[in-house]
Structure 1
Amino acid sequence: MARTVVIEAHGGPEVLKLVDRPVGEPGPGQIRIRQMAAGLNFIDVYQRSGLYKMTLPAALGMEAAGVVEAVGEGVTHLKPGDRAAYASQPPGAYAEARVMPAAQVCRLPDGIAFDTAAAMMLKGLTVDYLFNRTTPISRGDWVLFHAAAGGVGLIACQWARSEGINLIATAGSDEKCRMALDHGAVAAINYRAGDFAKRVREITGGRGVDVVMDSVGRDTFEGSLDCLRPLGMMISFGNASGPVPPLDILTLAAKGSLKITRPTVFTHIADPATCQEMAGRLFGKVLSGAVKVEIGRRYRLAEVAEAHRALEARATTGSTVLML
């Protein structure tokens, strides 16, 4: 048996339940992993609340790290005793142990701690596809990144600095702006203090940015379009403030023949070889010291509802993890 967080109905943090569940043995293409830490992400909130519908009852959690206990038939890239980490479907990472598909589980280098790995897998793979797989971004280009003091944002700030990319950060307080600057942003804007689109134009000498990376959604979407140069790319990859309203596609023409995409990390890592390649780049950034993963808060598994409340209130910085 393993303690596991499940929901039986969509709703607020109060619907999160901690139950004992049998773990079982891995079948073909599966592993059993004893987990040491799990990461929290906004996708967990979207699934819990019902914004992303799930078949209930359901377990939650999309990333974790631990030790492989057993492997099923056909699994060749992992063996019992391996340290491992993942960000993958299906949900179920908020658990002491689980059986899961092996394809997107990655062998974890010895130089990366379990809690660090759990804090970085989904967020770091997200940053990798944003910078390497969505639209061409070159040294010297300008990127606007919203919520830059969060777990994804602080990795993105460091990633951009390591690649010579000019990242303008937004955040909801002066303290969070300082964090973004400390992690590599070339400029930071407190979006609660004024018109961030106007400040972006000032910072870029009126040109605008090449790419906007926006996980906030409703509150920042329209202003983000106003930050782009002609032919710029809008990457909407989350909706922490709520879903983006329907868009009149002619708006993109009027604002300079803009491009827009709504990617997910799970599309990018669906191919196992691609997933392992992306994880290799992420591990390289962390092992080299180019990216340091900030864990803002650690919670016990029984405190998962409190952790969700803090995440939704945007009261966190860096990554949040559950220690298992």
Structure 2
Amino acid sequence: MKAIRIHRHGGPEVLAYEDVDIGQPGPGEVRVRNMAIGLNFIDVYFRTGVYKPPALPFIPGNEGAGEVVAVGEGVGDFAPGDRVAYAATLGSYAEERIVPAQFLVHLPGSIDFETGAAMMLKGLTAQYLLRRTFRVEAGHTILVHAAAGGVGLILCQWAKHLGATVIGTVGSPEKAELARQNGCDHVIDYRKEDFVARVKEITGGEGCHVVYDGVGKATFPGSLDCLRRFGYFVSFGNASGPIDDFNILLLSQKGSLFATRPTLFSHLATHEDVVEMSNDLFHVVESGAVKIPIHARLPLSEAAEAHRRLEGRQTTGATVLLP
């Protein structure tokens, strides 16, 4: 069986396409034949060593969709032939893989494998950000950084569906147009405009109720200046590098702000959480309220090229790898 393995941390060139043997599923595990695999920035974090894998070598990747091949002892919810999808479990860059049943869900028949693979990690991230971390409701004004990215496009559509006013930041005119088409009421090109000044202008000086920041170092502490009193700064990614340590008094000085750094893994602590969040995601996708834009498809063997494009900010929406 073919898979991508990483033997040492480094650039895209460390992604080795090679033969592996994954064995059979143990108790509570399921063997899945991947039909499509999602690409995410967290894959870069694991490749470079920002996030530590359990050991080297390892198979990267954190989401996918496919069919059940075999089930281990004690698994009663899944059977060979079932259409499934999963997220938040390392090892998806492979033709087949072993998945803990806790992270597996049945994929509705109305959702194809490529969409399933592209939507799980990014869509579940949007779910916990919008419905669990800060519960967005009609009348809220929100700021989404990297609004044309994989998570950003889902966040903007879903937030607009919930009745929020959505402000997004992007890095090019093409990405600005894409963000507008996917729920953004106002789009800021941060390469040409001061996003803090524009947010204050758009909100009449009031600021936003919440900022969703997956960029990190480049947008902090400016993101704090986009918030109104008692606003929420939600950091969920480090695309430009991790945020440097800061004095917590900064939050009081800028309006008694709340700041949090949640992770998807914490929200998927139980299978009940996984199912509940996935069902919420499936509902908005099946209803048409949220569309999952797949803008690139590459063979699994070209994972290194996919990483180069992702890190070079040449991607919008989702990219899927095909075994």
> Shared topology, TM-score over 0.5?
yes
Alignment of 1:175-324 (within 5 A): 175-324=174-323
Aligned partner of 1:40 in structure 2 is 39
Which runs of structure 1 show a deviation greater than 3 angstroms over 4 or more consecutive aligned residues? none
Aligned partner of 1:136 in structure 2 is 135
Aligned partner of 2:81 in structure 1 is 81
The whole-number CA distance in structure 2 between the counterparts of 1:9 and 1:25 is 26
Instruction: Give per-residue Cα distances to partners, 1:230-269, cap 9 Å, x unaligned.
Output: 1100000000001101111111110001110001111101
Measured after TM superposition, the shift of residue 137 of structure 1 is 2.3
The whole-number CA distance in structure 2 between the counterparts of 1:192 and 1:178 is 15
Instruction: Give per-residue Cα distances to partners, 1:247-306, cap 9 Å, x unaligned.
Output: 111111100011100011111011110110000011111111111100111110111000
Letter in 2 for 1:244: I
The whole-number CA distance in structure 1 between the counterparts of 2:76 and 2:148 is 38
Aligned partner of 1:98 in structure 2 is 97
SS in 1 for 2:50: coil
Letter in 2 for 1:146: H
Letter in 2 for 1:270: A
Instruction: Give per-residue Cα distances to partners, 1:91-129, cap 9 Å, x unaligned.
Output: 110000012211111100011010111111000000000
Aligned partner of 2:121 in structure 1 is 122
Stretches of structure 2 lacking an aligned partner (at least 5 in a row): none
The whole-number CA distance in structure 2 between the counterparts of 1:127 and 1:203 is 24
Letter in 2 for 1:247: F
Measured after TM superposition, the shift of residue 25 of structure 1 is 1.5
The whole-number CA distance in structure 2 between the counterparts of 1:224 and 1:99 is 40
Contact 2:4-2:18 at 8 Å conserved across structures: yes
Letter in 1 for 2:281: L
CA RMSD of aligned residues (A): 0.8
Measured after TM superposition, the shift of residue 78 of structure 1 is 1.4
Deviates more, 1:47-56 or 1:309-318: 47-56
SS in 1 for 2:259: strand
The whole-number CA distance in structure 1 between the counterparts of 2:81 and 2:107 is 11
The whole-number CA distance in structure 1 between the counterparts of 2:169 and 2:219 is 10
The whole-number CA distance in structure 2 between the counterparts of 1:265 and 1:282 is 14
The whole-number CA distance in structure 2 between the counterparts of 1:222 and 1:161 is 26
SS in 1 for 2:296: strand
The whole-number CA distance in structure 2 between the counterparts of 1:56 and 1:162 is 43
Q: Do residues 156 (structure 1) and 120 (structure 2) align?
A: no
Measured after TM superposition, the shift of residue 183 of structure 1 is 0.7
Stretches of structure 1 lacking an aligned partner (at least 5 in a row): none
How many percent identity over aligned positions?
55
SS in 1 for 2:133: coil
Letter in 2 for 1:73: E
The whole-number CA distance in structure 2 between the counterparts of 1:241 and 1:65 is 29
Instruction: Give per-residue Cα distances to partners, 1:61-117, cap 9 Å, x unaligned.
Output: 00000000111111122111100001022x110000012211111100011010111
Aligned partner of 2:51 in structure 1 is 52
Aligned partner of 1:71 in structure 2 is 71
TM-score w.r.t. the length of structure 1 is 0.98
Letter in 2 for 1:61: G
SS in 2 for 1:103: helix
The whole-number CA distance in structure 1 between the counterparts of 2:275 and 2:36 is 20
Contact 2:11-2:47 at 8 Å conserved across structures: yes
